[in-house]
Structure 1
Amino acid sequence: MEVSVLFGGRAGDGIRQLGQLWARMLSRRGFRVFLYDDYPSLIRGGHNFTIVRSSTEPILAHREKVDLIVALNQEAVEKHAWRLLSEVDLVFDSTAVKAQGFGVPWKEIVKEFSAPPIMRNTAALASTAKLFGISFQEVEESIKKDLPKKTELNLSVAHRAYELTEGHLRKLSRPGNDPWPTLFGNEAIALGAVSAGLKLYVAYPMTPSSSILHYLAQHGESLGVTTIHPENEIATILCALGAAYAGKPAMVGTSGGGFALMVEALSLAGQAELPIVIAECQRPGPSTGVPTYTMQADLNFVLSAGHGEFPRLVVAPGDAEEAFYLTALSLKLAWKYQIPAFVLSDKHVSESLFTQQLPFDEVPKVAFKAWDGQGEYRRYEITADGVSPLAFPGDPGAVVKVSSYEHDPYGITTEEPETIARMQEKRLSKAKLLKEEIESLSPVKIEGEGEVGLLVWGSTRGAALEVSRKLGLKYIQPLVLEPLPEEALRKALSGVKRLIVAETNATGQLARLLKARGLSVDKTILKYDGRPFTVEDLERSVAGV
């Protein structure tokens, strides 16, 4: 049993909130839900829409076609009528829209109760529930839980809309599943970092990473995390590096344009061997690009950013569960190897709503090689594995010196050729151990068998899983992109005679990386209009090759 509903209107109509209310209501009934948001970079005006797809089985992507359009203005009907399975599967504000279907005077209801105009979305929620045979008691419970402000007024508006909605679309029976949590990808990133031991989050707002900042600022006290919003991105990363120097695990969040300003400090982290996690949530570019849409176009940038040579970790989650686990893993490995680590998300993962269980029992934890307090402390002591013991300011007997300049084991600047070479080798030696550990962690997801493989990364996961299952393809997804788990990838590609790589960028960045490592790619499917693959979209593209 599956149903997809599109909610549409203009910015300021509360479309995103309406979609979330509907998604959470269905999730409480035991449905598995995926929510996709589409909105321009406007506070008011411009067309917003949200697609909520729900099913009795887990889902991680939305479809083009929908069972119902909920239209708060005429534009929502005109732009999306092509998505309907039947032209009368519309519920709309009869005071603002002319269409066939179920008309309800939401604007008049709001006026009747002297409620603010945005409460049309509450009225629309009630009408949608009525059409699907959901009792008003469930609507009431959802409003009380999810709308803590002006709850009684929202209930009055919703009740009247429920009464005035005549007709029935289909009955959504309860699927019999236990309810699962609903959370956004960015919330999963935040919780993964906190579960691993995060103590400080620093960010300058930049879509689509901003909701990590909002979430941790709102819940920081209960989560034990300090959240700071400095004056710019340069201050952001330097603040986080200062925290790492003091022994506090820190993470920063940004998008491509913000990370561009952080690159010099990234090299400082590499030279000073300061652990840091950077959540880089991609959007279309270059420059300002299209701030509220999605693309996987920063892979090359993140892999090569910074001057000089130093190891780094790059992970790419494709859903909330992966975002949680991989962020925790990034924090752990950043501290274990004293390196920068990237969580490479994008708008589609960061701002989509998932119904998923999070693996709290399996979460990696921050741990590091600590100085034993014996002898004279050497911050950059040369060891067999390249990882130096850590001490922090205030530790008895330790003078903790870090430097952006090349240095000797004590952290004292040097220009001696032998020392320069030894310290460079020390830093790079950690990359070998990091790659060995990554290879041991099941860094590539595989599903199915077949001579044709579909390989994707990050947010293309959801659509690709469904297409692979339907068309009988072997699904392959690397979770770690640096160091690239070549051994695990070669095993995953065993038996594959034809490999298709799908990604949302214009140049096939992962496909090029695979080819550079000697892995054969037969076809690339690229999408670069700022929108993610839908299931139908990717299926058409794969079937065409």
Structure 2
Amino acid sequence: MGEYSVLIGGKAGEGINTAGLSIAALFSRLGYRTYMYFDYPSLIRGGHNYAIIRASEKPTGATRTPVDVLLAFDQNGIEIHRERIHDGTTVIYDASQVVKGEGYGLPLDRVLKEEKAPPITGNSAMLGALARAAGIGREVLDDVIRGSVPAKHLEANLRVAGRGYDAVDHVFTVEPLDAPALPILTGNEVTGLGLVHGGLESYVAYPMTPTSNLLHFLAGHAEDLAIKVLHPENEIGVILMALGLAYAGEKTAVGTAGGGFCLMTEGLSLAGMAEVPVTIVVGQRPGPSTGMPTYTAQGDLHFVLNAGQGEFPRLVVAPGDLGEAYAWSATALSLSWKYQVPAIILTDKTLAEGAYSFDIGA
């Protein structure tokens, strides 16, 4: 079998996104090309979050409905995704939360209590159970955990992962591929790296999904990347600060979504009139108005092409995958400065927040 699909689901605040990235890393270490879609409601805690990871011999950028393994932290993790379960699906669930379980039940409450580990380490138990069910060696599992868990929590996560590994049976075998392990990056991260490659010096943003993580990524690596990252009080402050930086000679980019871009349109017109080169990353999500903040859409092309009063030249690029996101982000920033016009990078939630195997040389 050259392709696998795994879904992990639970409540908001339980680290489902991080757990999904660890699952993707597990397959990546074996040479597979992965894609992860993360679904979550617009809630801080509660609701149902899930990540679905597809691992294949060839590059992939989409998920499929049936899953080979379902990891459920609660009853919703099973009931909401019942249509994905088929005869060959391995179900692993938290027996302390799931009443009607089918498959392997992990007594996570008891495990965490015995190991004196915090609740978030339950993700490592699920990762360990997945590794055992898929015939993935303990050394690969431990290596992935060491690469994703902070040092102060490492030992607890390794212990809990071992308990999960020992709690299930070997069901099938994921055969290693003769291919290099590639890093798992989101579209936001690659867009940020592309901007830096294009000469970015300052990034200004107010957090607005789906580009919030672009702000978080660049802020977290600002010192390493030798850039300034600024977080003003709102989107109007963002565009005006960016125009000031660009006027002073700083190669500057901003990030927003449709609702925030609405507030930036007068600033965009000023950039067009004054020939100030500023690059705007617009992550599309459903509208109108605030719309659905955590889901995807592709309806803003005409908006960004015609935004602002009067006519002025602008560059608009719409990358479709990680390679294009990296190349066109760098190109948009460079061309904006070469021709002294505003540039817009149009992405969407699926690309911006989706996680892919990234081969910069491809």
What is the TM-score normalised by the length of structure 1?
0.65
Residues 481-526 of structure 1, C-alpha deviations (whole Å, 9 max, x = no match)? xxxxxxxxxxxxxxxxxxxxxxxxxxxxxxxxxxxxxxxxxxxxxx
Measure the CA separation in 2 of the matches of 1:61 and 1:169.
25
The answer to whether the aligner puts 1:26 opposite 2:27 as a matched pair is: yes
Measure the CA separation in 2 of the matches of 1:153 and 1:24.
20
Does the CA contact (< 8 Å) of 1:81 and 1:87 recur in 2?
no
Question: Structure 1 vs Structure 2: percent identity of aligned residues?
Answer: 49
Does the CA contact (< 8 Å) of 2:296 and 2:348 recur in 1?
yes
Aligned counterpart, 2:191: 189
State how many pairs are aligned: 359
Does the CA contact (< 8 Å) of 1:325 and 1:359 recur in 2?
no
Measure the CA separation in 2 of the matches of 1:195 and 1:359.
14
1:169 shift after superposition? 2.3
Residues 307-345 of structure 1, C-alpha deviations (whole Å, 9 max, x = no match)? 010011111111111111110110111111111111000
Aligned counterpart, 1:42: 43
Aligned counterpart, 1:152: 155
Relative distance call for 1:87 and 1:122 in structure 2 (3 A) is same
Does the CA contact (< 8 Å) of 1:70 and 1:91 recur in 2?
yes
Measure the CA separation in 1 of the matches of 2:199 and 2:130.
42
Instruction: Select 1:163's aligned residue among 150, 163, 166.
Output: 166
1:338-377 superposed matches below 5 A = 338-359=340-361
Aligned counterpart, 1:244: 246
Measure the CA separation in 1 of the matches of 2:78 and 2:19.
17
Kindly provide the amino acid, as one letter, of the partner of residue 242 in structure 1: G
The 3-state SS of whatever aligns with 1:150 is helix
The answer to whether the aligner puts 1:262 opposite 2:264 as a matched pair is: yes
1:267 shift after superposition? 0.3
1:345-494 superposed matches below 5 A = 345-359=347-361
Kindly provide the amino acid, as one letter, of the partner of residue 160 in structure 1: R
Relative distance call for 1:223 and 1:88 in structure 2 (3 A) is closer
Kindly provide the amino acid, as one letter, of the partner of residue 280 in structure 1: V
Kindly provide the amino acid, as one letter, of the partner of residue 144 in structure 1: R
1:63 shift after superposition? 1.0
Kindly provide the amino acid, as one letter, of the partner of residue 174 in structure 1: P
Kindly provide the amino acid, as one letter, of the partner of residue 344 in structure 2: F
The 3-state SS of whatever aligns with 1:291 is coil
1:91 shift after superposition? 0.9
Measure the CA separation in 1 of the matches of 2:6 and 2:206.
34
The 3-state SS of whatever aligns with 2:286 is coil
Measure the CA separation in 2 of the matches of 1:28 and 1:223.
26
Does the CA contact (< 8 Å) of 2:70 and 2:89 recur in 1?
no
Measure the CA separation in 2 of the matches of 1:350 and 1:219.
18
The 3-state SS of whatever aligns with 2:259 is helix
Does the CA contact (< 8 Å) of 1:195 and 1:328 recur in 2?
yes
The 3-state SS of whatever aligns with 2:136 is coil
Residues 42-97 of structure 1, C-alpha deviations (whole Å, 9 max, x = no match)? 11110111000001111111111111111110111001111123275211112221
1:156-235 superposed matches below 5 A = 156-165=159-168, 167-235=169-237
Instruction: Select 1:287's aligned residue among 289, 304, 308.
Output: 289
1:114 shift after superposition? 2.2
The 3-state SS of whatever aligns with 1:46 is strand
Aligned counterpart, 1:90: 91
The 3-state SS of whatever aligns with 1:119 is helix
Measure the CA separation in 2 of the matches of 1:206 and 1:222.
24
Does the CA contact (< 8 Å) of 1:319 and 1:354 recur in 2?
no
Larger Rg: 1
1:145 shift after superposition? 1.1
Measure the CA separation in 1 of the matches of 2:203 and 2:361.
22
Does the CA contact (< 8 Å) of 2:68 and 2:88 recur in 1?
no
Does the CA contact (< 8 Å) of 1:270 and 1:311 recur in 2?
yes
1:358 shift after superposition? 1.9
Measure the CA separation in 2 of the matches of 1:136 and 1:108.
22
- Kindly indicate whether structure 1 or structure 2 has the higher relative contact order, using CA contacts under 8 Å at least 6 residues apart: 2
Kindly provide the amino acid, as one letter, of the partner of residue 348 in structure 2: D
Measure the CA separation in 1 of the matches of 2:182 and 2:11.
31
Residues 396-415 of structure 1, C-alpha deviations (whole Å, 9 max, x = no match)? xxxxxxxxxxxxxxxxxxxx
Aligned counterpart, 2:326: 324
Measure the CA separation in 2 of the matches of 1:159 and 1:212.
34
The 3-state SS of whatever aligns with 1:57 is coil
RMSD of aligned C-alpha atoms?
Answer: 1.2
Structure 1: which 5+ runs fail to align? 361-545
Residues 404-435 of structure 1, C-alpha deviations (whole Å, 9 max, x = no match)? xxxxxxxxxxxxxxxxxxxxxxxxxxxxxxxx
Does the CA contact (< 8 Å) of 2:67 and 2:89 recur in 1?
no
Residues 423-452 of structure 1, C-alpha deviations (whole Å, 9 max, x = no match)? xxxxxxxxxxxxxxxxxxxxxxxxxxxxxx
What is the TM-score normalised by the length of structure 2?
0.97
The 3-state SS of whatever aligns with 2:96 is coil
Aligned counterpart, 2:61: 60
Relative distance call for 1:230 and 1:299 in structure 2 (3 A) is same
Measure the CA separation in 2 of the matches of 1:283 and 1:311.
25
Measure the CA separation in 2 of the matches of 1:349 and 1:197.
22
The 3-state SS of whatever aligns with 1:77 is helix
Measure the CA separation in 2 of the matches of 1:157 and 1:292.
31
Residues 451-500 of structure 1, C-alpha deviations (whole Å, 9 max, x = no match)? xxxxxxxxxxxxxxxxxxxxxxxxxxxxxxxxxxxxxxxxxxxxxxxxxx
The answer to whether the aligner puts 1:17 opposite 2:18 as a matched pair is: yes
Structure 2: which 5+ runs fail to align? none
1:359 shift after superposition? 4.7
